[in-house]
Chain A
Amino acid sequence: MSTLAIHNGRVIDPALGQDGIADVVIVDGRIARVGPNEGDMVIEADRIDATGLVVAPGFVDLHTHLREPGAEHQETIASGTAAAARGGFTTVCAMPGTEPPLDSKAAVESVLREAEASAAVRVLPLGCITNGRAGELLAPAGELAGAGVVALTDDGQAVADPNLMRHALQYSTRFGLPVAQHPEDPALVRGGQMHEGWVATRLGLRGRPASGEATMVARDIALAELTDAHLHVCDVSTAGSVALIRAARERGAHITASVTPHHLTLTHERVAFGESYDRIQYDSSAKVFPPLREEGDLEALSEALRDGVIDAVATDHAPVSAMEKDIEFDLAEPGISGLETAFGLTMRLVSGGQLSLATLIERLTIGPVRAWNLDRRPGFEGLGTLAPGAVGDVVILDPTAEWTVEPERFASLGRNTPLAGERLQGQIIATVVDGQTVHASAAVAAL
């Protein structure tokens, strides 16, 4: 029998409405008890002193690119999940845009096998909507569901054909799988390198208009309502999409949504400007799709996150190699390596007063779990909470600790971040999966 006792932390469990000093006791990989001095009752235990720290359910990321198989130079299941552990994530939903793509049982099972062997945290794969993500023929959703996928998506490639998307949504209802869509209309954003607006004009780069997202989101919502299906909008980045999602949810449509830390906090100006407006740069570390938007979009996004119109903060962790970033901007791979900075970056909303710490934790834990009903899967009961019997996934964090982003020290192989050298407030002190400590910073004191 193995026991872990986390002592005297401020336990925040949004699902249970709990916020107070308590001990958390995990026995044999499941939450046993949470309460004052509960840790003192156990005799044989590994112990962590969380005095002055926050203890919460482990974070759940609905949008992680682990790149394996096919692009192991960018990330592996081992390195990506190590990065997740550093970022406080105990569950990551792995995107199917691998090579080969996860459009068959065999491909999904190979990822699950590799995760079993090398992953530091739970890995829940997604499956493709269409074979080979080609947008032509439906992938076998039933076979994929049987293999254990938690949602369907064609990853960064949105399903362009509205009729095919209609059928994908309709078919998915038989297996209870959400259909997650990258929210940009391929025709409207073709060739675009960044948000369409004055910064793109200054740089002479082709833009991706905000309406390229709104049109896709509007279409998909209409199709989801037509088919009574569950649509998940990934990477919401514009005020226009927020308004559409808000209205659809008010009508009772089954629409869920997630937003990245970078879309919540950084604008398109980050691509062109460092310290001053006098000198431009073409910073490919800030190249990401959908692109970083404008101030007004950021406000709408944080408001929607606060109101719950957006269910989850999801990283869209997209590691790429230096070789793929340090080239002409048009050729540079889009993406931000986001797992290790996610908490610190979103904490800016808490510091800025737009979000409470408890709400942020909600959107990183029970928010995403409920969005995709992950806790209804066998073995995952109580995921995203610290309820007795729940999986023993816990994060210990210090919301006030400041640290400097040093990409060269990332566990992720992807050092692509626009935050290099920046100070972030909010640090992950330790991460526990199934009662086992998978990450512990030097600051953590074992009793």
Chain B
Amino acid sequence: MTIETTNTAPNVSTAADTATDTLAPPELGDGNWTHRDLLDLDTYSQTDIEAVLTLADRMREILDRRIPRVPALRGYTVVNLFYEPSTRTRVSFELAGKVLGADVISVSANTSSVVKGESLIDTVRTLRAMRADAVVMRHSMAGAPYLAAQHTDASIINAGDGAHAHPTQALLDLYTMRRAVGDLSGKKVVMVGDIAHSRVARSDLWGLAAMGAKVVVCGPPTLMPRGLRAGDRPEHAESALPPVSIETEIDVAIEGADVVMALRLQSERQEGGLLPSLHEYAAHYQVTAERLARANPDHLLMHPGPKNEGIEIAGDVAGGSHSIIEEQVTNGVAVRMALLYLLSGRAEPDDVGGEARS
């Protein structure tokens, strides 16, 4: 294989591949994809989410080819701007861009140098001046991608901002769930763990609400955010957070669940005095086979990773038959491909996989 591979994939496709080689546009409801950015799923309708998930199916086909390369995003530049270390999300975006033929550059920045020198606004303006089309941003502080989006016309994709949001993780979670159980409407999804500090949980809540799932969050009271219960908000703000039930007892929460998702527990929570010990946490909140026996017999087990086996999830169930944790990782690439393609504005009927427009 030569380095030419990237942009010549269609020419070496097998006949079987050719049949699915087009990137026909997804159903976009009224025919319009209006988003330039993905900051969180709170501004994405069910139709928008469906568009990403449907296109992700096609991307998944491309990924599963012998030579997974199409030139759909040739000439499109994606910058991964990571202010916080990440392996899986960064690699997932890099692969997603490369499979579609985009130029992908990853930059590790750190907030301490930002404080001293170049501001976030300067950085995103500079990247745009260098013709970056999309900036995938990971930041330890909530809201950083919103600040970026105000100061550039490049697409900003939030790859995780503080404890706020991680919308591409939510999209891949939705995609993985839907592939496994079909329509999510009315399905009971239970998230267990550190809800207060989880950006994954927050974005999942929006996405699952849009798809009509019934969501229960479960965790110790010290790891539950304030105001999540609708009754704790003023009437006018009822829809300001997604609908959710709150349960502090895991056995009650898991009862009849279609999907159980364990969230990563950061060891800082113990140091911050929010938990007596990891052992105590595991005793009350670890997702175990015994506890999963209360779930729907066909339940699925998920985890956004990286997981601490023996703390929030038992090793045997993480690797067990209900687990679709690895599936989540593969789907992450497909979903991010779909998203990049949609945000690029190239999703038009005549824009097929064979030739990219210049």
Spell out A's residues near B (CB within 8 Å).
196-207, 209, 269, 277-282, 294-295, 323, 326-331
Contact = CB atoms under 8 A, between A and B. Distances in A.
A98 to B, nearest CB: 22
Given A197-B226, A204-B202, A278-B43, 17 more contacts: A197-B227, A198-B233, A198-B241, A201-B225, A201-B226, A201-B241, A202-B241, A203-B143, A204-B143, A204-B162, A277-B240, A278-B42, A279-B43, A280-B146, A327-B121, A327-B147, A328-B147
B163 interface: yes
B142 interface: yes
Contacts of A209: 226
**Chain A contact residues, majority secondary structure:** loop
A198 B226 contact: yes
B144 interface: yes
Contact of B164 (A198, A199, A204): A204
B146 A282 contact: yes
Interface of B: 40, 42-43, 111, 114-115, 119-121, 139, 141-144, 146-147, 161-165, 199, 202, 225-228, 232-234, 236-237, 239-241
Contacts of B111: 328, 331
Contacts of A279: 43
Given A200-B226, A331-B115, A282 B241 contact: no
A205 B140 CA distance: 11
A442 to B, nearest CB: 35
A362 B9 CA distance: 79
Contacts of A281: 146
B143 A282 contact: yes
A91 B144 CA distance: 40
Contacts of A331: 111, 115, 141
B106 to A, nearest CB: 21
Contact of A207 (B164, B226, B228, B236): B226
A198 B121 contact: no
A199 B119 CA distance: 26
Contacts of B120: 327-328
Contacts of B42: 278, 280
Nearest to A267: B234
Given A205-B142, A327-B119, A331-B141, A198 B202 contact: no
B234 A295 contact: yes
Q: Which of B119, B139, B147, B241 has most chain A Cβ within 10 Å? A: B147
**Which 8 residue pairs are nearest across A and B when measured between Cβ atoms?**
A198-B227, A204-B164, A282-B143, A204-B142, A201-B225, A204-B163, A330-B141, A328-B141
A281 B147 CA distance: 9
Contact of A282 (B119, B142, B202, B226): B142
A23 B310 CA distance: 82
B226 A328 contact: no
A102 B236 CA distance: 46
20 contacts: A198-B227, A198-B232, A198-B237, A200-B226, A201-B227, A201-B241, A204-B162, A204-B164, A205-B163, A269-B237, A277-B239, A279-B43, A326-B121, A327-B114, A328-B120, A328-B139, A328-B147, A329-B142, A330-B142, A331-B115
Contacts of B234: 294-295
Nearest to A197: B227
Contacts of A280: 40, 42, 146
A201 to B, nearest CB: 4
B227 to A, nearest CB: 3
Contacts of A294: 234
Nearest to B144: A328
B143 A329 contact: yes
B191 to A, nearest CB: 15
A266 to B, nearest CB: 15
Nearest to B236: A277
Contacts of B226: 196-198, 200-201, 207, 209
B237 A277 contact: yes
Nearest to B239: A277
Nearest to A329: B143
B143 A328 contact: yes
A201 B163 CA distance: 9
Contacts of B232: 198
Nearest to B39: A280
Given A198-B240, A280-B146, A203 B43 contact: no
A198 B14 CA distance: 54
B165 A204 contact: yes
Nearest to A191: B272
A329 B141 contact: yes
B327 to A, nearest CB: 27
A205 B239 contact: no
B82 to A, nearest CB: 15
B164 A203 contact: yes
Contacts of A205: 142-143, 162-164
A178 B143 CA distance: 40
